[in-house]
Amino acid sequence: MKKSIFILSLLLLTPFLSCKTKKLPVQDVKIIRQDGTEFIVKAEMAIKAEDRNHGFMERKNIPDGTGMLFVFERDQILSFWMHNTPHPLSIAYIDSKGKIRDIFDMNPYSTDSILSTVSVRYALEVPQGWYKKNDITTGDTVVLP
């Protein structure tokens, strides 16, 4: 009896556990540096609140050239953290016109809040160091899908 209850519990929980690392729909997000150089990030789109709240949690590998674009309904001061996120990330806070306003590095599993310095509408997370490696800085433009 105990074994069948355990198996039934496992079967009922499995869909919820597998959803946590499920990939979201992907779109190409173009970043244009101030010198005109362009880069494409294959970004998962976190549009729903539940997707934004989960983000890259439990993801151990996030390849270069990929990321997650968090889309919010209105401009606001945004705050992100790395709770349950094992992969180091960099985050760009982007205003409603597509201008990168802040870029910060974030440490795995940190519960420190990383706040935008101004009201923004979007956040783009990529593997840590990707912005620096590609000389992408504040003032550069993100062409939003």
- pLDDT at position 23, please? 85
Distance, CA of 68 to CA of 91 (rounded, Å): 9
In the chain, domain spans = 23-143
CB 84 within 8 Å of CB 108: no
What does the pLDDT look like over 10-68, one tens digit per residue? 333 333 443 445 789 999 999 999 999 999 999 999 999 999 999 999 999 999 999 99
CATH T-level topology, domain 23-143: Jelly Rolls (2.60.120)
- CB neighbour list of residue 49: distance below 8 Å, 6 or more residues apart: none
Distance, CA of 55 to CA of 59 (rounded, Å): 9
- The pLDDT-based confidence of 7 (bands split at 50, 70, 90) is very low
What does the pLDDT look like over 59-84, one tens digit per residue? 999 999 999 999 999 999 999 999 99
Closest CA to 98 of 39, 26, 27, 29: 29
